[in-house]
Amino acid sequence: MTNDALSVLNGAETMLADFLLEKRFDIGDMENHILPMFEITDADSPLKEPNFYIRVSAFDYTFVDPDNNGFYVCANLAGVLIFTVIRKGRKDIWENTLVQSDGGSIKQPPVQVRSPLMLDMMQCLVGCSNATISQAQRNKIIESLKANPQVAQAKAVQLHDGD
């Protein structure tokens, strides 16, 4: 990562910290967007598996796209994708996803998101969907589910023999 990229990310971190600590009352040109992921029921959709993975997991990461001058932070909270766009890339389109600081409600209008961030996220999810879990890790998961039966009843994760 270049020094310029680190400078942009450090500046954004400071600005957001000051905002959360009420030392400032805006986040400059940064934008927050939210995109709830609804279940895909079409069995033939190529997005069905990545969609499922998003809805049953939690992760976050920072993405820098030097080709388009974009800087992003993405957080997934079990299917609610929250994006902090530090600097929009030249090719970005974010329609009907902006979180207004003065409140509002989440509706299901047609949304359009086009950003290199989404391509990067899909590539990561495809990589994750091809990952395997060792038997030792499976055993830990099974023991954890036995110790917390309320989690097992949620049916968020299915373990298959022979995977």
Instruction: Check residue 10 and give its pLDDT.
Output: 92
Average pLDDT over residues 1-19: 89
Mean pLDDT, the chain, whole residue set: 80
3-state secondary structure 133-145: CCHHHHHHHHHHH
CA-closest candidate to residue 65, choices 82, 97, 87: 87
Does the pLDDT at position 70 exceed 80? yes
12 has a pLDDT exceeding 90: yes
Percent pLDDT > 90 in the chain is 18
pLDDT of 84 over the 60 cut? yes
Q: Which residue has the higher pLDDT, 133 or 72?
A: 72
Whole-structure pTM value: 0.69
What is the CA 92 to chain-centroid distance, rounded? 16
- pLDDT band for 15, please (50, 70, 90 cuts): very high
DSSP sequence for 41-74: --TT-TTHHHHHHHHT-EEEEEEEETTTTEEEEE
Distance between start and end Cα atoms, the chain: 37
